[in-house]
């Protein structure tokens, strides 16, 4: 009786946790979209400047700025280059979060390198229950599998006694 109750509790907790993943993924996507939009405006400004001042591209402009004698211009070049790298990272994040499956999204979101960003997203996260049949089915299936894997050694130990 205790094992059956434990099994049901574990399944319920896992199900509720897996229900949150698609909701968290959507929150994360919205968070990243805001950063992407802001970075895109900056990068477009860099591109307009590069074109206006006859540089082949933004990278050529940044390289020229890096060799400038003025330290403020060199520091600005470094900041511009960091913004370009962040923009590329944000574009990759959007690709995964918009087109990846739930497993890919989960792996991306919970990567240790992105925990600071995840903490920012979690500040505004509100748990809920998804209404999409595919998400509900996936959550039930994964909760059953992981719950079964967790309970399997416990049941074997109890039968051995």
* pLDDT range class, residue 159, cuts 50, 70, 90: confident
Residue among 136, 148, 141 nearest 7 (CA): 148
Count the domains in the chain: 1
Q: Which pLDDT score, from 0 to 100, does residue 161 have?
A: 66
Q: Which whole number is the average pLDDT over 72-92? A: 96
Token representation of residue 152: 């399997």
Do 105 and 95 contact (CB within 8 A), yes or no?
A: no
Q: Which pLDDT score, from 0 to 100, does residue 67 have?
A: 94
Between 141 and 155, the higher pLDDT residue:
141
**Domain membership of residue 22 as a residue range:** 2-160
- What gap in Å lies between CA 117 and CA 140, rounded to an integer? 28
Q: Which pLDDT score, from 0 to 100, does residue 7 have?
A: 84
* pLDDT range class, residue 131, cuts 50, 70, 90: confident
Question: Three-state SS for 77?
Answer: helix
Half-sphere exposure in the Cβ direction for 4 (13 Å, CA): 1
Q: Which pLDDT score, from 0 to 100, does residue 26 have?
A: 93
* pLDDT range class, residue 158, cuts 50, 70, 90: confident
Do 31 and 139 contact (CB within 8 A), yes or no?
A: no
What would the pLDDT profile of 3-41 be if each residue is shown by its tens digit?
788 888 999 999 999 999 999 999 999 999 999 999 999
- What gap in Å lies between CA 134 and CA 18, rounded to an integer? 12
């Amino acid at each position: 009786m205790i094992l059956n109750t434990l099994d049901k509790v574990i399944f319920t907790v896992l199900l509720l946790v897996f229900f949150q993943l698609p909701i968290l993924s959507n929150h994360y996507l919205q968070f990243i979209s805001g950063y992407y939009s802001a970075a895109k405006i900056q990068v477009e400004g860099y591109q307009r400047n590069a074109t206006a001042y006859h540089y082949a591209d933004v990278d050529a402009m940044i390289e020229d700025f890096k060799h400038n004698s003025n330290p403020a211009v060199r520091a600005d070049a470094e900041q511009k280059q960091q913004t370009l790298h962040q923009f590329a990272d944000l574009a990759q994040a959007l690709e995964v979060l918009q087109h990846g499956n739930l497993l890919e999204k989960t792996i991306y979101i919970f990567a240790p390198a992105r925990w600071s960003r995840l903490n920012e997203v979690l500040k505004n996260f509100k748990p809920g229950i998804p209404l999409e049949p595919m998400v509900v089915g996936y959550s039930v299936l994964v909760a059953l599998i992981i719950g079964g894997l967790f309970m399997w050694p416990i049941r074997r130990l109890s039968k051995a006694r």
